[in-house]
């Protein structure tokens, strides 16, 4: 059976086909879900965001240009919704999280130990979740989704220089938080399934 | 391994441990189907202002009568038959 292109599916969606919506969901659910997860650092929020992104795709299908690739639209919608979620959540729970962070601060391990532990991804998760939101979004799109600076700039609608600077500062912060020196980076033993 | 490869692999490993919900698609399609149901034909709004400047179905019982139009019609018809 021929695999339909995104363009064909978007056109079908515009004429009201729920089957096309289901097919697009199958195609992009993992990408949207994982992007939302890493930005929001909350799996149940990521589930809600995933649903919300595709409901908006359905609702605003008529506004989508079928001649342009769909992925950037999905990335833009995911980052915008995740951004709103984090900002809203931060307003209510942020001070509490800061207090908890302060409480456990004294117990924090030596950053030099972090990269020697087997669960590197957990250390990175913690470090990424403390990044300012604008840097976190760029870091996620760059490292998780493997997008170029130009693509990120188009998705976020900011100049490439801004993307570059956010990535630079994000990387610096992560380096500091993880206590990484270039000569002590380990080989990660967790391969993506 | 350089910094970029390290971060890239660590973030991907973190994300790869999580999967979208299994019932997500069914739930999405259900909500989408409900939201795309065609809107019913608009009914004649009897509460529109008439030429005398008052709504036809004004007053406390207007909304009750409109909501139970069939019962109201039947009771009036029965009453007329009795009379």
Contact (CB<8Å) B3/A171: yes
132-151 in A: which are within 8 Å (CB) of B? 139-140, 143-144, 146
**pLDDT tens sequence across A62-116:** 999 989 999 999 999 999 999 899 888 865 555 555 565 555 554 444 444 444 4
**pLDDT for residue B56:** 54
**pLDDT for residue B70:** 75
Contacts of B55 (CB under 8 A, 6+ apart): B46, B47, B48, B49, B62
**pLDDT for residue B78:** 81
> How many angstroms separate the CA of residue A120 from the nearest CA in chain B?
6
A40-44, A61-65, A160-164, B1-5: the lowest-pLDDT one: B1-5
Say how far apart CA B15 and CA A122 lie, in whole Å: 10
CA dihedral sign, ordered A43, A46, A48, A54: negative
> How many angstroms separate the CA of residue A29 from the nearest CA in chain B?
7
Contact (CB<8Å) B35/A22: no
User: Any idea which residue has 């998760």 for tokens?
Assistant: A125
What is the percent of chain B where pLDDT is above 90? Answer: 16
Residue from the list A22, A144, A175 with its beta carbon closest to the beta carbon of B12 = A144
Task: Write down the ipTM of this complex.
Answer: 0.73
Give contacts of A54 with chain B, Cβ < 8 Å. Answer: 28, 32
Indicate whether A118 pLDDT > 60.
no
92-111 in A: which are within 8 Å (CB) of B? none
> Could you give the 3-state DSSP secondary structure of residue B68?
coil
**pLDDT for residue A46:** 93
Q: Does A189 touch chain B (CB under 8 A)?
A: no
**pLDDT for residue A187:** 47
Say how far apart CA B63 and CA A92 lie, in whole Å: 42
Q: What is the pTM of this model?
A: 0.70
Say how far apart CA A70 and CA A6 lie, in whole Å: 7
**pLDDT for residue A110:** 45
Q: For B35, name the nearest residue in chain A, comparing CA atoms only.
A: A59
**pLDDT tens sequence across A13-71:** 999 899 999 999 999 999 999 999 999 988 899 999 999 999 999 999 999 998 999 99
**pLDDT tens sequence across B69-83:** 777 777 877 887 777
A26-40, A93-107, A173-187, B18-32: the lowest-pLDDT one: A93-107
**pLDDT tens sequence across B38-49:** 555 555 555 555
Q: Does A184 touch chain B (CB under 8 A)?
A: no
Contact (CB<8Å) B20/A124: no
Q: How confident is the model at residue A179 (pLDDT cuts 50, 70, 90)?
A: confident
Higher-pLDDT residue of A83, B1: A83
Contact (CB<8Å) A58/B36: yes
**pLDDT for residue A21:** 94
Residue from the list B7, B18, B25 with its beta carbon closest to the beta carbon of A43 = B18
**pLDDT for residue B60:** 62
């Amino acid at each position: 059976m021929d695999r339909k292109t995104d363009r064909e599916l978007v056109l079908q969606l515009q004429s009201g086909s729920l089957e096309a919506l289901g097919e697009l969901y199958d195609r992009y659910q993992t990408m949207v879900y994982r992007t939302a997860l890493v930005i929001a650092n909350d799996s149940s929020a990521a589930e809600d965001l995933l649903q919300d992104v595709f409901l908006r795709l359905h609702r605003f299908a008529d506004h989508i240009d079928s001649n342009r690739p769909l992925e950037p639209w999905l990335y833009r919608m995911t980052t915008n919704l995740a951004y709103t979620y984090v900002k809203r959540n931060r307003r209510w729970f942020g001070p509490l999280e800061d207090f908890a962070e302060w409480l456990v601060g004294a117990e924090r391990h030596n950053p030099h130990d972090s990269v020697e532990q087997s669960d590197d991804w957990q250390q990175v998760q913690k470090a990424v979740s403390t990044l300012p939101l604008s840097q976190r979004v760029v870091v996620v799109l760059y490292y998780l989704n493997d997008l170029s600076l130009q693509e990120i700039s188009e998705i976020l609608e900011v100049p490439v220089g801004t993307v570059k600077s956010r990535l630079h500062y994000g990387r610096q912060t992560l380096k500091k938080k993880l206590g990484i020196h270039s000569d002590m980076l380990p080989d990660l033993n967790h391969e993506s399934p | 391994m350089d910094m970029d490869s390290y971060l890239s692999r660590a973030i991907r490993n973190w994300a790869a441990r999580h999967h979208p919900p299994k019932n997500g698609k069914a739930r999405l399609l259900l909500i989408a189907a409900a939201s795309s149901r065609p809107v019913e034909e608009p009914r004649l709004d009897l509460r529109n202002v008439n030429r005398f400047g008052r709504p036809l179905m004004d007053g406390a019982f207007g909304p009750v009568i409109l909501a139970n139009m069939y019962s109201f019609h039947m009771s009036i018809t029965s009453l007329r038959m009795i009379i």
